Structure 1
Amino acid sequence: MKTLTTTDALAQFCTEAREHDYVTIDTEFLRERTYYSKLCLIQLAMPGDTDDNAVLVDPLAEGLSLEPLYELFRDTSVVKVFHAARQDLEIFFVQAGVFPDPLFDTQVAAMVCGFGEQVGYETLVRRIAKATVDKTSRFTDWSRRPLTDAQKTYALADVTHLRKIYEFLSAQLVKTNRTHWVQEEIGILTHADTYIIQPQNAWKRVKTRTAAPKFLAIMRELARFREAFAQERNIPRNRVFKDDALVELASTKPRSHGDLGKSRLLLREARRGDIADGILKAIADGVNCPAEDAPKVSRKDDKQQVNPALADLLRVLLKAKTETSGVAPKLIATASDLDAMASGQRDVAALSGWRHEVFGEDALRLCNGEIALAAKGANVTIVPI
């Protein structure tokens, strides 16, 4: 097993990789103690049936630059193949502002090809590559050096089996004329907005049943402070304070350090110092927020507007479409998509792009009363009205 620890060695590998149609890529990282992922290992493999043209890259090696890899990412003549690429892409985007182009994600492709929702790498290795993956090193500390032989073997398998998986899935996509479906999904994965979290929008990630504008204003300011604080110090946002504490603070509106000490859910470290000061200022800003500037819950999220009978019919239609197309249901439409459509909304993902071909066109016809659904044996059929 080759481990590259110098820029020259990495550059040589990347030069050789450019002679091929694709290269498979994976990473190992840690994120438990940081806001941003700490890149600990990169695995790369060129086409082939052996481990001879697969390598490990140690990004923690002193003096090693990843620029040769980024140049490979920019080379549009070579497909960069990942499995479940989102977290890998976030690392490279945050560190270097670069996305692999073109990109192929085998998890997305597998969902399109009928392997189910968010199918795991081990499942694809077993079903397509007819091999197994040793999972014993999955939860090890990848930042510790030296890496063990078991760690290296596990890491390398993440890109060597990926070659057969890619070749099989890409051929299936061509055969079924669904390559453009995967490309649409990858367009989302390679969009900067997917990975940029603006502190002022962080409140939208916090779950709450309260829609009062004043409460939401306080929650917005607390979430804004927490996100900015975590980003600046590169610590997990839950290390500042957790979501349940945020909701509690927005409800109780403490005004002093003494009030913070009465919180049931706030971490001890957050009751003093910079975090406590930031919390009190955020609450004050939320309390003093003018009514016209307070966030409001969109009426499109109001479940009371949903036509429950129509929502049920859309679910039946979706099930019928997934059975005939073989595409994972959640990849076509989520439960919230169906409820949104049943409440009259039309600006939903399920009604655009390749999803419109598979489901959206008939879903709109169903909503408009132009078709009905009928049971025919074990199948559901569409009946024009």
Structure 2
Amino acid sequence: MKTLTTTEALAEFCTRAAGHDYVTVDTEFLRERTYYSQLCLIQLALPGESEDDAVLVDPIAGDLSLEPLYELFRNPDVVKVFHAARQDLEIFYVAAGVIPEPLFDTQVAAMVCGFGEQVGYETLVRKIAREGLDKSSRFTDWSRRPLTEAQKKYAIADVTHLRKIYEHLSAEIRKAGREKWVAEEMAILEDPDTYVTDPENAWKRVRTRTHSGRFLAILRELARFRESYAQRRNVPRNRVYKDDALVELASTKPQSLQDLSRARLLLREARKGEIAEGIIAAVKSGLDCPSADLPQGEQSREKLQVNPAIADLLRVLLKAKAEECGVAAKLIAPTSDLDALSAGERDVPALSGWRRDVFGADALRLCDGEVALAAKGQKVFTVDL
């Protein structure tokens, strides 16, 4: 297999790719020691079976610019095919502000085609390409050079089998008339906001059972400082302090280095210097937050006043609709959407786009008492009232 290490070689391959309908793409990266992913390898494959149709692009060993690849990503005539694309796309967006378009994610497409929730690449290779995968190199250090032959073989398989998977799934989607469904899902992946982590909203990812406004204000400031510090220093957020330490700090409200020294869960490095000063300043900012500006936690299931009977009926309806159209139920509506609907909420994803056509419209009618559920044999269906 060929490894490209110069801009000229990459440009030549991308020029060839521009003459095809699609190109399959994958990456290998590391993120254990950094906030942003470190790109280690790019795999590309064109339709065809020749050895020159699939290549590795080495941004570490080679002296090359990725601009020819970015030009290909911007080419509207070539579909860029990924599997579980989100992390790959984040790399390219952070590095160059580029998001490949048009885009096709085979994991999303497989869910639309009834392969289940979050289906893995290995499963699709086995079921569609009728091949096996050697996964022994999956957790190797992709930043070390030279790459072994086993690593190269593993990496290239992630794009060569993807060709058959894409061709099969795209044909199934066209046959079922579900291009619009996939396009709606791709629009989320093509949206730059998907890859922007705003420190202002970092607190919303921290799990806590306390919903006091003052506690959440301190939590928000601590999470904001941690995210900003991690981004600025390019270190994992958990290397600054972990979520359990963050929650502890929001509870104990340390206001001096002496207070901070009593923290049980805080890393030793965070008890001094810039991090310690940032923690104390964040706590003070949370304590000083005006009452009118205190954050509100997301409504819990209890606060939503979920109607358990309606929620259960919605689950039955969802299961029936998912089986009827052969789509993973979780892709149509997660449990949180069903609970929100049963509590009277109407601003949920299940009520928009293709989800409304498949499930949302009947879900609303069920909640409003316009239809009932009936069963005949193994089939569940709605009955007008």
Q: 1:196 to 1:332 in 2, by over 3 A?
A: same
When structure 1 is superposed on structure 2, of 27-36 and 190-199 the one drifting more is 190-199
Note if 1:294 corresponds to 2:276.
Answer: no
- Runs of 4+ in structure 1 deviating by more than 6 angstroms, as ranges, are none
Structure 1: unaligned runs, 5 residues or longer: none
Q: Within 5 A, what are the aligned runs for 1:133-282? A: 133-282=133-282
Note if 1:65 corresponds to 2:65.
Answer: yes
- The DSSP-based 3-state class of the residue aligned with 2:340 is helix
Note if 1:33 corresponds to 2:33.
Answer: yes
- Residue pair 2:61, 2:145 contacting (<8 A) in 1 also: no
Q: Deviations over 1:57-114 (max 9, x none)?
A: 0011343100000000000000000000000000000000011110000000000001
- The DSSP-based 3-state class of the residue aligned with 1:361 is helix
Q: Percent identity?
A: 71
CA distance in 1: counterparts of 2:131 and 2:50, whole angstroms: 13
Note if 1:9 corresponds to 2:9.
Answer: yes
- The DSSP-based 3-state class of the residue aligned with 1:381 is strand
- Residue pair 2:11, 2:68 contacting (<8 A) in 1 also: yes
Amino acid at match of 1:179: E
Structure 2: unaligned runs, 5 residues or longer: none
> Which residue of structure 2 lines up, in the alignment, with residue 366 of structure 1?
366
- The DSSP-based 3-state class of the residue aligned with 1:69 is helix
Amino acid at match of 1:188: I
Instruction: State the shift of 1:260 in Å.
Output: 1.2
CA distance in 1: counterparts of 2:99 and 2:302, whole angstroms: 37
Q: TM-score scaled by structure 1?
A: 0.98
- Residue pair 1:25, 1:159 contacting (<8 A) in 2 also: yes
CA distance in 1: counterparts of 2:328 and 2:290, whole angstroms: 45
CA distance in 1: counterparts of 2:301 and 2:319, whole angstroms: 23
Q: Within 5 A, what are the aligned runs for 1:106-121? A: 106-121=106-121
- The DSSP-based 3-state class of the residue aligned with 1:52 is helix
Amino acid at match of 2:316: V
Amino acid at match of 2:265: L
CA distance in 2: counterparts of 1:308 and 1:275, whole angstroms: 45
CA distance in 1: counterparts of 2:256 and 2:174, whole angstroms: 63
- Residue pair 2:250, 2:283 contacting (<8 A) in 1 also: yes
CA distance in 1: counterparts of 2:34 and 2:302, whole angstroms: 36
Instruction: State the shift of 1:152 in Å.
Output: 0.3
Q: 1:141 to 1:299 in 2, by over 3 A?
A: closer
Note if 1:122 corresponds to 2:91.
Answer: no
Q: CA RMSD in A?
A: 1.1
CA distance in 2: counterparts of 1:367 and 1:60, whole angstroms: 56
> Which residue of structure 1 lines up, in the alignment, with residue 379 of structure 2?
379
Q: TM-score scaled by structure 2?
A: 0.98
CA distance in 2: counterparts of 1:193 and 1:209, whole angstroms: 28
CA distance in 2: counterparts of 1:66 and 1:381, whole angstroms: 53
Instruction: State the shift of 1:49 in Å.
Output: 2.8
Aligned residue pairs total 385
> Which residue of structure 1 lines up, in the alignment, with residue 131 of structure 2?
131
> Which residue of structure 1 lines up, in the alignment, with residue 94 of structure 2?
94
